[in-house]
Structure formats: C-alpha cells, structure tokens
Amino acid sequence: MMEANWGGLLIEATTWFVFCYFIALNGGYLMLNALALRALRIKGQELFMAELPRAWSGLEPPVSILVPAYNEEATIAASVRSMLQLSYAEFEIIVVNDGSKDDTLGVLQREFALLPFPEAYRRQIPTAEVRQVYRSTRYPNVRVIDKLNGGKADSLNAAINVARYPLVCGVDADSILQRDSLAKVTEPFLRDPSVVAAGGTVRVANGCTVSGGFLTSVGLPKNIWALFQVVEYLRAFLFGRLGWSGMNGMLIISGAFGVFRKDTVVEVGGYRRDTIGEDMELVVRMHRVLRARRQPYRIEFVPDPVCWTEAPEDYRTLKNQRVRWQRGLAESLNANWGLVFSRNGGVPGWVAFPFMLLFEWLGPVMELGGYAFMLWAYFAGAISWEAFGAFLFVAIGLGILLSSSGLLLEEMSFHIYPRGKQLLMLGVVVVLENFGYRQLNSVWRLTGLYRWAMQKEATWGAMRRKGTWQSGAGQ
C-alpha cells in the first residue's frame, strides 16, 4: 500500500512538473511576444518620419562586408552582385574562399575579373594560411581572400584582419540583401555610440525570385520543409530576438546578417574556431567581457533590414543543420558560464542566460521527456483524459498561438507576403508544424545535445544549395 501511495505521489508530482515547465516555456515566449509588440509599435511611429531626409544621410560609418564561402559556386555570384547594389555611402566586400572543393574561386575570378593584389595588413587574429588576396578590376571595393580550409569562424577572422573599416558585417554566401538593409542595420550605431553589435531579420528565400543579384519578387516555397522554416524564422526573429533586444539581453545575432564594431570583436579575441556556433558564442562572450569591465554597451536587433537566405529543402540537410545549431548553443553557453548570475550580469546574466539554459539548451530533454511521460501516464491509466487534454492544450495549443502571433506581427508590421493566398498557406503551416515538425525538431536538438555531451567530432558538413530562386546571375 505504501509503495502504491509513493508511486501515485511521484506520478502526480511529475505531472505537475511537466505542466509547470510547458506553462513557463510558453509563458516566457508570450512575454517576449508582448515586448516585441511594444517595440514594433515604437518602430511604426518612427516609420512616419522615415521619408524625411535624415541628418546623417551620407555620413554613415564605412562598413566591411565579410562573406565566408565554402563550396558556394551556385549562389556566390548573385550574392556579391546583390551586395554591390546596396544603397550605402561607403562599403567594401571581402569574400573568403575557405578552401572550397568546387569552383567557387573560379566563379569569382570570371564574374569579377580578379587579379592578385599584394597587400600589407595587420594579422590581429590567428588564422589558417592565406594563399592569396585578390582584387576585382571591375569593382574596386571587392576583394577575395583565398585561404586554406579552417571553417567559417576562421574565414571571418581572416576577413577581419584584412578589413579596412570600423564596422564589419558578416553575411552568409547564400544570402541576398535588400538595397536598404545595410543602411537600416547600421542606424543603431549612429543613434547610440555605445552600440557594439546589431543584427537584422533573416527570411527564407526559397520561392522568391532573384535576378542579377536583386530580389524581384517575394514568394513562398513549394517544398514543405522550407515552408515550415518560413514560419520558424518569423517566430524566432520577430518576437524572439526583438523581445530580448529591448532589454539588452539578446544572446545571438545570426551569422547570416550581423554588424559589429571591429575593435570590440578584436578585443574579445575574434570568432572562436573550436565551435560551430561561432555567431552566438561571440555575442555571449561580448556580454560576458563587457559586463565584467562594467563598460556601457548595447547589442540591438533591428527588425526591418532583411537578409534573404536559402533554407534546406531535404530531410537530411535540415536535420544536420538543427543538430549543429543545438550543439553550437551548448558550446556557446558552456564557454561563458562566467556570465550567468555574475555580479554585473544584468539582464544577460540573470534573465537571458538562465532562460536559454532551461528552455533552449535543456529544452529538448524536457519537452520530449514530457511528451513521453504524459503519453505513458495516459495510456497506463495514471492520469485522466481531462489532465491529458489540458497538457495537449498547453503543449500544442499554446504553440499554435505563438506561431500565429509571429505571423500576425509580420502582417501588422511589414506585410512581406501581400497575397491572401500566401497568408492562407502560412496560416495552415502555422497549425501543421505543431503536429510532428516541432517534435521532430526536438529530436534533432536532442541529438545535437547528445553529441556535445559525448564530445563527438563536430563539423559543418555540406549545405546542398539549389539556387533555383535565382535567375540572371550572370547579368
């Protein structure tokens, strides 16, 4: 009898723990949603003044755009051409060919008429051997570094060494920027001299049309994997990072589109080469180091500068990407324990870091464990249908609400997808992703967490680029 009582109490306690975890998880994201909505309202008020001439127009600080490229022959030319069309006073483009095995360097040589350019520069951050630096004879602000393979972080460090300007902007080689993206993402640096980093919104380019390196029409992908990612990106950027930004607690700037003060990046040691989550690790380390120094700073997210990127369209590539992301998250947090609950940690150390630890790092363990326990308890008759139904509402119903709110924020603020048919399709995907896809994502994340815990060798692997959303790349 005593054992039965203890067993019942254990099941009841576990049930309540699972309920509380999922409520805290979704409640936390709903809070971020509310903060994002407030930030978008303020942003909407600023847009009324956007058409007026700006006092700093033409005086923006020059920017070095860093483009690490590994086996990117399908998209690299269009990406660089889109960057050349940016509406910005002064910038340079530094493409880093990181020992590609395909014809990435050959494409760059043909498209931009490269010639070797002997150049002296200060090697402030150690990198793999640089074989040659090229300069375009058609575009004086385009340079290409050809180096031995060392990974994305190593490529970014090599580009920082060569960069001539005070701001550096990391952009993925498969990305397409809108013409005003760079001008908008650098506005925080003009508004507040304490800003050390700023990130923009990344959206899925699959289904869109790019001609001559310029986005000509916005569309939705036909591939179901890419469609799920459209909703994911809306949710992650519009209320995830925007919510944290208002509290100066944002712990990640996407490697696909982020601007940093070069001197700050060099001071904290550049990108770490022994992690596959170099973008997040750098931001968390900047928080840790600058907080320890008690140096005033801000790291901001700007919602309207858009970078379009190609999303994986096959199961294997998508799985490998999410496994890498989770491992990168674990590596980033583990390398910066000095931030959490530190004396000067502020919001990053006392709120954002614990949140990421509980709901992102340990999230897959808790979520999959919660699903498994509740299913077992229901079919074993340990809990009632009412309790199981309440769990499904908290776990899945609130998930649908969160995804729907991301879509609503997008429609209210930027209206990127103007057609009713597109919004209807996204509305359907918002519901469908909660029945299988999000749970599958948790399985992939758990795999990444396991590989990190077991210290298995981590590699970026190869991203299968199709480039079908491009046309006229050679124009």
**Has residue 273 been placed in a domain?**
yes
Q: Stretch 187-214: mean pLDDT, rounded?
A: 86
SS3 readout for 87-129: CCCCEEEEEEEECCCCCHHHHHHHHHCEEECCCCCCCCCCCCC
* Average of per-residue pLDDT across 69-91: 87
Please state the pTM of the whole predicted model.
0.89
Four-CA torsion 106, 152, 199, 85, nearest 10 degrees: -10
In whole angstroms, what is the distance from residue 199 CA to residue 204 CA? 16
Instruction: Quote the CA–CA distance of 273 and 270 in Å, as a whole number.
Output: 9
Q: Among 46-50, 333-337, 411-415, 448-452, which is the least confidently predicted range?
A: 46-50
- CATH number of the domain residue 228 falls in: 3.90.550
* Length, in residues, of the chain: 475
Q: Is the pLDDT of residue 280 over 80?
A: yes
How many Cα neighbours within 13 Å face the side chain of 50? 12
By C-alpha distance, which of 82, 91, 89 is closest to 64? 91
Angstrom distance (rounded) from CA 202 to CA 307: 5
| pLDDT (mean) for 158-173 | 92
474 pLDDT exceeds 70?
no
Residue 326 maps to a domain: yes
Residue 325: inside a domain, yes or no?
yes
Give the whole-angstrom CA distance, residue 215 versus residue 179.
9
Is residue 185, in this structure, part of any structural domain at all?
Answer: yes
**Is 4 contained in some domain?**
no
CA-CA-CA-CA dihedral for 301, 306, 309, 313, to nearest 10:
90
Highest mean pLDDT pick, 32-46, 338-352, 405-419, 446-460? 338-352
Range of the domain at 186: 31-53+174-354+463-471
Task: Decide which of 418 and 324 is more confident.
Answer: 324
Question: In whole numbers, what is the pLDDT of the chain averaged over residues?
Answer: 86
Q: How many domains does the chain have?
A: 1
In a domain, 224, yes or no: yes
To 10 degrees, the CA torsion angle through 142, 280, 442, 28? -120
User: How far is the C-alpha of 25 from the C-alpha of 296, rounded, in Å?
Assistant: 30
Residue 131 lies in a domain: no
318 is a domain residue: yes
Stretch 311-338: mean pLDDT, rounded? 93
Instruction: Identify the pLDDT of residue 85.
Output: 84
